[in-house]
Amino acid sequence: MRFPAIRRTAGLGGAALAAAALTCGAAAPASPQAAAALRQVMFVGNNWDGTADVIEPSGTFARIGRINVIPDKADRLLEIYLNPVRLAYFLGIRQGPGEGHDQFVDDMYATPDGTAMVASRPSFADVVSIDIATGKIRWRFPVSGYRSDHMAVSPDGTRVAVSASTSNTVHVLDINTGRQLGSFGTGDKPHENVFTDGGRYLWNMSIGEVNTALDSPAMDWTKGDRKITVVDAATFKQVKVIDMRQRLDAFGRKDLSDAVRPVAFTPDESKLYFQVSFFNGFLEYDVATDKITRSKTLPKNPATSEDRTTWVNDSRHHGLSMNPEGTKLCVAGTMDEYATVVDRATLQEGPLVPASKPYWATVSGDGRSCVISESGADRVTAIDFATGQKTASVAVGDHPQRVRIARIPAGWTPPAA
160-190 pLDDT, tens per residue? 999 999 999 999 999 999 999 999 999 999 9
Cα of first residue to Cα of last residue in the chain, in angstroms, is 53
Strands 260-265 and 271-276 come out as antiparallel
CA atoms of 366 and 363, how far apart (whole Å):
8
Mean pLDDT of 120-145: 98
Whole-model pTM over 0.85: yes
Q: Of all residues in the chain, what percent carry a pLDDT higher than 70?
A: 91
Split at pLDDT 50, 70, 90, the class of 20 is very low
Q: How many CA atoms lie within 13 A of 271 on its CB side?
A: 17
DSSP 57-108: SSTT--EEEEEES-TTHHHHHHHHHT-HHHHHHHHHHHHTTTTTS-----EE
pLDDT of residue 383: 98
pLDDT of residue 219: 84
DSSP 337-379: TEEEEEETTT--B---EE-SSEEEEEE-TTSSEEEEEETTTTE
196-248 pLDDT, tens per residue? 999 999 999 999 988 888 878 888 888 899 999 999 999 999 999 999 999 99
355-395 pLDDT, tens per residue? 999 999 999 999 999 999 999 999 999 999 999 999 999 99
50-86 pLDDT, tens per residue? 999 999 999 999 999 999 999 999 999 999 999 999 9
Mean pLDDT of 297-320: 94
Split at pLDDT 50, 70, 90, the class of 6 is very low
pLDDT of residue 222: 86
pLDDT of residue 64: 97
pLDDT of residue 212: 82
Q: Which residues contact 373 (CB under 8 A, 6 or more apart)?
A: 44, 319, 358, 359, 360, 379, 380, 396, 400, 401, 402, 403
Q: Does domain 38-409 have CATH number 2.130.10.10?
A: yes
pLDDT of residue 17: 33
Count other Cβ atoms within 10 Å, centred on residue 270. 15
Q: Which tops the pLDDT comparison, 216 or 27?
A: 216
Residue 31 has pLDDT above 60, yes or no: no
Strands 51-55 and 201-206 come out as unpaired
pLDDT of residue 30: 43
Q: Residue 263: what are its φ and ψ, rounded to 5°?
A: -135, 165
Maximum Cα–Cα distance across the chain: 60
pLDDT of residue 216: 85
CA atoms of 157 and 159, how far apart (whole Å):
6
The DSSP secondary-structure symbol of 309 reads G
pLDDT of residue 230: 98
Work out the mean pLDDT of the chain and round it to a whole number. Answer: 91
- Give a three-class secondary structure readout of 262-301: EEEECCCCCEEEEEECCCCEEEEEECCCCEEEEEEECCCC
Count other Cβ atoms within 10 Å, centred on residue 8. 11
Residue 29 has pLDDT above 80, yes or no: no
312-341 pLDDT, tens per residue? 888 999 999 999 999 999 999 999 999 999
SS3 7: coil
CA atoms of 293 and 281, how far apart (whole Å):
14
Residue 15 has pLDDT above 50, yes or no: no
Split at pLDDT 50, 70, 90, the class of 138 is very high
